[in-house]
């Protein structure tokens, strides 16, 4: 058996001898380069998408937090209104009804401001009936036009 020429590689599956300059190196290197570029492009795309998703999530959490604080503010104003009305009707209170006007004005101003800010922050858009009910309830209680 004659050993193969040093510049020739044998492929046992093919039973043929190819010279080194005829090997499919260029095609393999090109395929490797294309694959690496595709993986890098996909990694960059995924990284960009995750950054956008992280930003969206933090903005949504912050907006929900501010909306929740506005809802708590509205609830606090309505609770203060109820307590003031209860105290106003208490027969042991020494103040006349006219003395309660500044407190009701303060509550009304704060409540109207809280409702406006909450409608701007609300993530879920309420229906027109829900928005009308929310706007009419305090107006009817406070005697607003």
Residues 103 and 52: their CA atoms lie apart, in Å, by 46
* Polymer length of the chain: 145
List the beta bridge partners of residue 136: none
**How many domains does the structure of the chain reveal?**
1
Give the dihedral sign, CA 131/136/142/145.
Answer: positive
Q: Is residue 13 part of a domain?
A: no
Q: Quick one: pLDDT at residue 125?
A: 65
Position 10 scores a pLDDT of: 57
The CA distances from residue 111 to 2, 14, 104, 132, 134, in Å, are 100, 86, 10, 15, 11
The answer to whether residue 77 sits within a structural domain is: yes
Is residue 8, in this structure, part of any structural domain at all? Answer: no
Tell me if 5 is assigned to some domain: no
How many Å is the Cα radius of gyration of the chain? 38
Record the tokens describing residue 34, joined without a space.
Answer: 């294309």
| 29 located within any domain | yes
Is 17 within a domain?
no
Domain residue limits at 45: 25-142
pLDDT score, position 22: 66
Locate 70 and state its tokens.
């506005």
* pLDDT under 70: residue ranges of the chain: 1-23, 123-126, 134-135, 137-145
Within a domain: 37 = yes
Q: How far apart are CA 93 and CA 97, in angstroms?
A: 10
For residue 133, the model assigns a pLDDT of: 74
Residue 20 lies in a domain: no
What gap in Å lies between CA 77 and CA 111, rounded to an integer?
6
Q: Is residue 19 helix, strand or coil?
A: strand
């Amino acid at each position: 058996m004659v050993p193969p020429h040093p510049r020739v590689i044998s492929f046992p599956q093919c039973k043929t001898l190819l010279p080194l300059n005829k090997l499919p190196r260029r095609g393999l290197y090109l395929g490797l380069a294309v694959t690496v570029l595709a993986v890098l492009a996909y990694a960059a795309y995924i990284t960009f998408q995750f950054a956008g998703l992280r930003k969206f999530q933090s903005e949504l959490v912050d907006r929900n937090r501010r909306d929740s604080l506005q809802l708590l503010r509205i609830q606090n104003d309505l609770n203060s209104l109820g307590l003031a009305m209860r105290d106003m009707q208490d027969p042991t209170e020494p103040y006349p009804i006219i003395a309660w006007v500044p407190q009701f004005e303060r509550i009304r101003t704060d409540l109207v401001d809280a409702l406006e800010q909450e409608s701007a922050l609300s993530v879920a858009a309420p229906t027109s009936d829900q928005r009308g009910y929310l706007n009419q309830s305090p107006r009817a209680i406070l005697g607003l036009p």
